Structure 1
Amino acid sequence: MFDHDHAEPAGDMAPVTAEDLAEGVRLVVALLRRPVALAADWGRPAGSPGWSCWETAEHLADDLFSYGAQLGPQTPPADTHVPFVWRREAPGRPANVIFAERGSGPQGIVQVLESCGALHVAMVRTASPQARAFHVFGTTDPEGSAAMGLVELFAHAEDLAQGLGLDWRAPAPVCARVLTRLFPGAPTDTDPWATLLWATGRGELPGRQRLTEWRWDSTPRT
């Protein structure tokens, strides 16, 4: 759990924007298009989720698609997701709407991810500030949706980097804005990337226990 007595969000922190989300998509797509990534075995396990790299990338694409889709209805569902058909290919695998053709190879799954990311960016960019999107961690607004997409992008990029043998580090300024928006109880005097990994149960912070359970607060701030 976060220590709310020690970390207040910076009052002058800029909001998370569609441009931040677009940059996050660009960075992660570029990471996964490195020759070493495209030549790797995507059947290998990724980091913390326990899925293969392919399944993790599909899950990430599905997150971005779903977050964008939740912003679509003029009258969004108040207590559940838009009722797309979700399916799980096998026990223990992620339940998705979005799947990539296996025969398309790593280039194909990265293209699917890039396309879903572009859809999410477009929805954040064009949605009214008053738009709302259901999420189990708090029905959110377009800014919160963008921040959620960035958490998924950066955290699962870390998982994929571990599985594919890549070096990866998310940009600190964007991480700081995402932490302020979604994890208001997280420490503000530590490295933002390390803090985001800690906040999502993927890393250590000095003097703090590693999290085994975590959640963000995506409710609007105003």
Structure 2
Amino acid sequence: MSRSSKPGGTDHRPTAPADTAPVTPGPVTADDLARAVRLAVALLRTAPGSAWEGRAAGSLAWDCWETVEHLSDDLFAYAAQLGPSTPPLDGAVPFVWRPNRPGGPANAVHADRAAGLLQTLEACGALLVAMVRTTPAEVRAHHVFGNSDPEGFAAMGIVETVVHTHDLAVGLGLDWDPPADVCARVLARLFPDVPAGADPWPTLLWATGRTALPGRPRRTAWRWDGTVRP
């Protein structure tokens, strides 16, 4: 989802949203991102090694291996955007993103199929955590959904992590329930237009086109707002 939105979907049935409700206060932090990546990797390590290839990740057009590569690539790309001494404001750092097959995700990061997969995800997550921790808050860098600051890139990395782990959990038959407080902070930072008052995790799934909420059909198009607000 780092360069375009890719809706998915499940039969998840969340509670109905209310008109107003408080969210967990405070900014999105590097610790939030590290926690999301750590929990995702721990869950995915419970999947058998034979499950990754040829099994669709939820409603995505990619199998589970490709989806982990895509998630790793998103985290790497966000870290890279913050890396230059003067980050670009009008485009991505010029790595070459290519798919391994027609219809596959266009990545700069590809895991060695003979050596494993999840270390790649863990390492790319650690790169973004480190960049969020060390980049001054006033730095801005390009993203197609709005030029953002380190907090914004942390929030984007969390969305990628928790939502694509959801896609993977559907494909692998695992249960995934990321921390509600982290989801609430991400919703407040990136999705100011979504209804407040419901459980943050189902609301985040709705905001990213994965499911419907009662009275609110599943989104067929969506984007977050990464811009820095006062």
- Calculate the TM-score normalised by the size of structure 2: 0.88
Show CA shifts across 1:6-31 (max 9, x none): 86785872100000000001000001
Aligned residue pairs total: 213
The corresponding residue for 1:16 is 28
Q: Counterpart of 2:61 in 1: which secondary structure?
A: coil
Q: Match for 1:61: what amino acid?
A: S
After TM superposition, the structure 1 = structure 2 runs for residues 81-100 of structure 1, keeping only pairs within 5 Å, are: 81-100=92-111
Is 1:78 aligned to 2:89, yes or no? yes
Aligned identity (percent) is 62
Q: Match for 2:63: what amino acid?
A: S
Which structure features the higher share of helix residues? 1
Show CA shifts across 1:147-166 (max 9, x none): 00000000000110011111
Q: Which runs of 4+ in 1 moved over 3 A?
A: 6-12, 36-39
- Unmatched tracts of structure 2, length 5 or more: 1-17
Question: Matches of 1:138 and 1:102 in 2, distance apart?
Answer: 34
Question: Matches of 1:113 and 1:182 in 2, distance apart?
Answer: 23
Pick which of 128-137 and 39-48 moved more.
Answer: 39-48
Is 1:210 aligned to 2:218, yes or no? yes
2:134 corresponds to which of 108, 126, 139: 126
Question: Matches of 1:77 and 1:16 in 2, distance apart?
Answer: 22
Question: Matches of 2:156 and 2:220 in 1, distance apart?
Answer: 19
1:170 corresponds to which of 178, 181, 185: 178
Is 1:144 aligned to 2:156, yes or no? no
Question: Matches of 1:168 and 1:101 in 2, distance apart?
Answer: 26
Question: Contact between 2:24 and 2:184, CA under 8 Å: does it hold in 1?
Answer: no
How far apart are residue 37 of structure 1 and its match?
3.9
Question: Contact between 2:23 and 2:185, CA under 8 Å: does it hold in 1?
Answer: no
Q: Match for 1:99: what amino acid?
A: H
Is 1:182 aligned to 2:193, yes or no? no
Is 1:62 aligned to 2:70, yes or no? no
- Unmatched tracts of structure 1, length 5 or more: 1-5
Question: Matches of 2:221 and 2:89 in 1, distance apart?
Answer: 25
How far apart are residue 41 of structure 1 and its match?
4.2
Question: Contact between 2:155 and 2:190, CA under 8 Å: does it hold in 1?
Answer: yes
Q: Counterpart of 2:121 in 1: which secondary structure?
A: helix
Structure of higher RCO (CA pairs closer than 8 Å, 6+ residues apart): 2
Show CA shifts across 1:133-153 (max 9, x none): 210000100000000000000
Question: Contact between 2:68 and 2:121, CA under 8 Å: does it hold in 1?
Answer: yes
- Calculate the TM-score normalised by the size of structure 1: 0.91
Q: Match for 1:20: what amino acid?
A: D
Question: Matches of 1:11 and 1:206 in 2, distance apart?
Answer: 20
Question: Contact between 1:60 and 1:153, CA under 8 Å: does it hold in 2?
Answer: yes
Show CA shifts across 1:156-213 (max 9, x none): 0011001111111111110000000000011111110000000000012111121000
CA 1:9 to 1:149, structure 2 compared with 1: closer, same or farther past 3 Å? Answer: farther
Pick which of 87-96 and 41-50 moved more.
Answer: 41-50
